[in-house]
Amino acid sequence: MTTQSKQKGFTIIELLIVIVVIGILATITIVALGGANARARDSKRESDISSTHNAIEAYYAIGNSQYPTLTELNDGTTVDGVDGEIRDPKAVPADTVSFFDAATPTRYGYVPVPAGCDNSTTICTGYTLTAQRESSDEDIVRTARQ
């Protein structure tokens, strides 16, 4: 007497089809979410530029009647709203390594006006604050000119 046993399991073709479908779904997910990280970093840059712009304007408004130089902005002694200096670590973005003369990707740019002002012989009467976006060619720009 012969007994016929049915084998249970999947054929190699069925397994390959499932692997291909999973691969296609993973690719679609990666492509769809790929730009989300860049947009999130751009959003953070916008927030940083906005808070820095507000801090610089506060520095000007509390009686300094001048904007900080690039060196003053980078040394962390600019504006806390009490005595004209920003020492509040939340005022200027903490994760900003430093500001540069021209913005490069993931970096921020600060250019005081007029060129070469040092607030001792020449007062800084304006500035341009910039950051480059990753998700588009459009820069984030804030300016003040007096």
Is residue 25 one of the residues assigned to a domain? no
Residues 81-110 pLDDT 10s: 334 444 443 444 444 445 665 545 456 788
Q: Supply the range of the domain harboring residue 118.
A: 40-145
Is residue 65 assigned to a domain? yes
Q: Mind listing the pLDDT tens digit for each residue in 20-38?
A: 999 999 999 888 887 787 7
Closest C-alpha to 140, from 35, 37, 39: 39
From the list 128, 143, 131, the residue with the least C-alpha distance to 47 is: 131
What does the block give as tokens for 115? 């060129």
Count of domains forming the chain: 1
Cα dist. 47→5, 92, 117 in Å? 68, 11, 27
Q: Answer yes or no: are the C-beta atoms of 60 and 67 closer than 8 Å.
A: yes
